[in-house]
Amino acid sequence: MFKSIKYEEIEKNWVDTSYVFIDVRSPSEYEAETIPGAINIPIFNDEERCTIGTVYNQESVEKAKRIGIEFASKKLPKIYEEVYKLNHKYDKLAFFCARGGMRSSSLVSLFDSIGINAFKIEGGYKYYRKHIYNHLPDLIKNIQFVVLYGNTGTGKTRILEKLKTKGMDVLDLEGCANHRGSILGNVGLGKQNTQKMFESLLYQSLINRKTNLVFVEGESRRIGKDIIPEYLFEAMNNGINIKIETDMETRINNILDSYVHNTDKELIESLEHLRKHLGDNNIDRYIKLIEEHQYRPVAEELMVKYYDPMYEYNNRKYSKVFYNDDIEVVANRIIQWVDDL
């Protein structure tokens, strides 16, 4: 017999050193989405999982089980070493697989029998996803969002980072999506988070907030391939709007710092998608400049010819405008202004 626990029990009694989540699903399942912070200790690799599934569906359940035992037995020494280390770092080890079935149950049963404080999360990742789906809307209801708007490169993301270091509650939508929201939004960031992972990271950010006042950057509803849930987008639209402004030189520096770091190939690939907006002549010239490592004129022209005109279509009213001449100073000004509201 093994010990099991509901995800909400862990969340209710969470302490940094109390639980660690252990995802025993295959690497590809884990890579697509998981419980934030979970460690992947797969009982089967992707190829083995595929083989077992094929045998299960086309031959017999018993044969699939035998093959699964053969695959798993070879990995047990390595799995034990990883679990043993975690057992000395955390009080409780919470294992999960897709639905709380054989993969997590078998490992929890084994480790519990040798004195490791292991638990199985009931219902596995599927139950966790249901928990997020049901509870994320409730987290939004009492939040007052302070929404930062401003043209590309004005430093909104850095201001949010500074506000967070000063103890403010911040929801980093682009960080949750691992995408900056524009056609160039994934340059230098790698693979974008899936919609499920995006929502999980939103939930994690909001469940850990200290107050009901949360700073967030204004975004369109779609960030790359991820979509902001309608109830969150509506709450942001009903928030307190502030605008960030700064000079063109600062904007260019911010853009170069964010996008230019051995990313020429990605920049050129992304620029190809702008041909219908800016024309072949402009894009060909930008590509040539990037190949010559002349990034500043490209950054300035993209803002003037593409990003700024799009932004100006928004007839949004702002409660306050802040000029970003220094991240530390403007963050303090924003905090003081909010405190005075």
* Nearest Cα to Cα of residue 123 among 1, 9, 7, 43: 7
Residue 311's pLDDT is 76
On whether the CB atoms of residues 243 and 323 are closer than 8 A, the answer is no
pLDDT surpassing 80 at residue 16: no
The reply to whether 91 and 161 lie within a common domain is: no
Residues 128 and 145 in one domain: no
Q: From CA 308, how far away is CA 244, in angstroms rounded?
A: 13
Give pLDDT tens digits for 119-169: 999 999 999 999 999 999 999 999 999 999 999 999 999 999 999 999 999
* The pLDDT of residue 278: 93
Same domain, yes or no, for 120 and 268?
no
Same domain for 37 and 66, yes or no, is yes
Element spanning 92, H or E: strand 92-96
Q: Are residues 113 and 256 in the same domain?
A: no
Question: Would you state the pLDDT for residue 283?
Answer: 96
Question: Is the same domain home to 215 and 70?
Answer: no
Per-residue pLDDT band for 195 (boundaries 50, 70, 90) equals very high
Residue 55 corresponds to which tokens in the numbers above? 């045998």
Mean local confidence (pLDDT), 33-37: 96
Task: Looking at the structure, tell me whether residues 251 and 326 fall in a common domain.
Answer: yes
Q: How many domains, in total, are found in the chain?
A: 2
Which range of residues forms the domain containing residue 279?
141-340
Give the whole-number percent of the chain exceeding pLDDT 70: 98
Looking at residue 181, its pLDDT comes to 83
pLDDT of residue 269: 92
Query: What is the pLDDT at residue 17?
Result: 64
Average pLDDT over residues 86-98: 94
Domain C-terminal end among 115, 132, 149: 132
Answer with the one of 104, 132, 160 that is the final residue of a domain.
132
One domain for residues 56 and 83 = yes
Identify whether residues 148 and 292 lie together within a single domain.
Answer: yes
Res 14: pLDDT: 75
The three-state secondary structure class of 167 is coil
Output the average pLDDT for the chain.
Answer: 93
Burial of 174 (0-12, 13-18, 19+ CB in 10 A): buried
CATH number of the domain encompassing residue 77: 3.40.250.10
Q: Which of 111, 132, 153 is the last residue of a domain?
A: 132
Strand partners, 96: 23
Q: Write the pLDDT tens digit of every residue in 303-333.
A: 999 988 887 656 788 999 999 999 999 999 9
Q: Are 316 and 149 in contact (CB under 8 A)?
A: yes
Q: pLDDT per residue over 208-220, tens digit each? A: 899 999 999 999 8
pLDDT in tens, 217-275: 999 899 999 999 999 999 999 999 999 999 999 999 999 998 998 999 999 999 999 99
Rounded to whole angstroms, how far apart are CA atoms 240 and 213? Answer: 10
SS3 214: strand
**Both 208 and 296 in a single domain?**
yes
Q: Which two tokens stand for residue 336?
A: 């003081």
Looking at residue 18, the DSSP 8-state letter turns out to be T
Tokens of 148: 């930062």
CB atoms within 10 A of CB 165: 10
Considering the domain architecture, whether residues 102 and 145 belong to the same structural domain is answered as no
CATH code of the domain in which 285 resides: 3.40.50
Same domain, 54 and 167: no
- Distance between CA 114 and CA 5 in Å, rounded? 19
Mean pLDDT of all residues in 105-128:
94
DSSP classification of residue 192: P
Contact 156, 244 (CB under 8 A): yes
| Whole-number percent of the chain with pLDDT over 90 | 79
Average pLDDT over residues 54-80: 90
